[in-house]
Chains A and B, each alone.
Chain A
Amino acid sequence: GNSVTQMEGPVTLSEEAFLTINCTYTATGYPSLFWYVQYPGEGLQLLLKATKADDKGSNKGFEATYRKETTSFHLEKGSVQVSDSAVYFCALLTPPGGTSYGKLTFGQGTILTVHP
């Protein structure tokens, strides 16, 4: 079945440092890919998305590019802030046309802590 693997955390950075959180996936067909963020004590919010190969999703300074050749969707930000401290989840959506369509599969999450 489909699966998502994220880099192990936690990740601790100083403010203004560069962030990369690796995400790779295994899927049949052409899934859509997402990054979600969960701030302490809250639910999940959609951060960015990409629906086909070479698409770049971006939001709030975060970016991720859908790389089909490496089955990856790594999250990057050039300069993190303390307010970016949260848990980040990579996810894939099985598209219509196959079994388990509509199913959103998550990676295990990466805890990010940014210090002033």
Chain B
Amino acid sequence: NAGVTQTPKFQVLKTGQSMTLQCAQDMNHEYMSWYRQDPGMGLRLIHYSVGAGITDQGEVPNGYNVSRSTTEDFPLRLLSAAPSQTSVYFCASSTPDRGGGYTFGSGTRLTVV
């Protein structure tokens, strides 16, 4: 049982490049979410999903796309990287139970130069 696995752990991109941050969970969780965490700031929700085929925007969705074709995977796509997207990205998953609580991955540290 690996929990929530994020890859890569570190990435450097050039402005304008695109890439996909991978997130997979093996707990059969219906809920999955992506957050970004910037220095001195809390966690801001980018996109979330309550099941395969269902996604919704969070607070800061611009510049990011998601899809949820399977229960296990929830990739985050950066369409055209910008320096403002330099951040640490966390993926998380949860059951729909009221007390489920989200389980977080270890994060991807992304730098856009």
Contact = CB atoms under 8 A, between A and B. Distances in A.
Pairing of A with B = yes
Contacts, number: 64
B45 A104 contact: yes
B45 A105 contact: yes
Given A43-B105, A45-B104, A104 B90 contact: no
Nearest to B44: A106
Given A51-B99, A109-B41, 9 more contacts: A32-B98, A43-B104, A44-B43, A44-B90, A49-B101, A96-B96, A102-B50, A103-B58, A106-B42
A101 B99 CA distance: 14
Interface of A: 32, 34, 36, 42-46, 49, 51-52, 89, 93, 95-96, 100-109
Interface of B: 30-31, 33, 35, 41-43, 45, 48-50, 56, 58, 90, 92, 94, 96, 98-107
Contacts of A52: 98
A96 B50 CA distance: 10
A104 B48 CA distance: 9
A95 B98 CA distance: 7
A78 to B, nearest CB: 24
B104 A103 contact: no
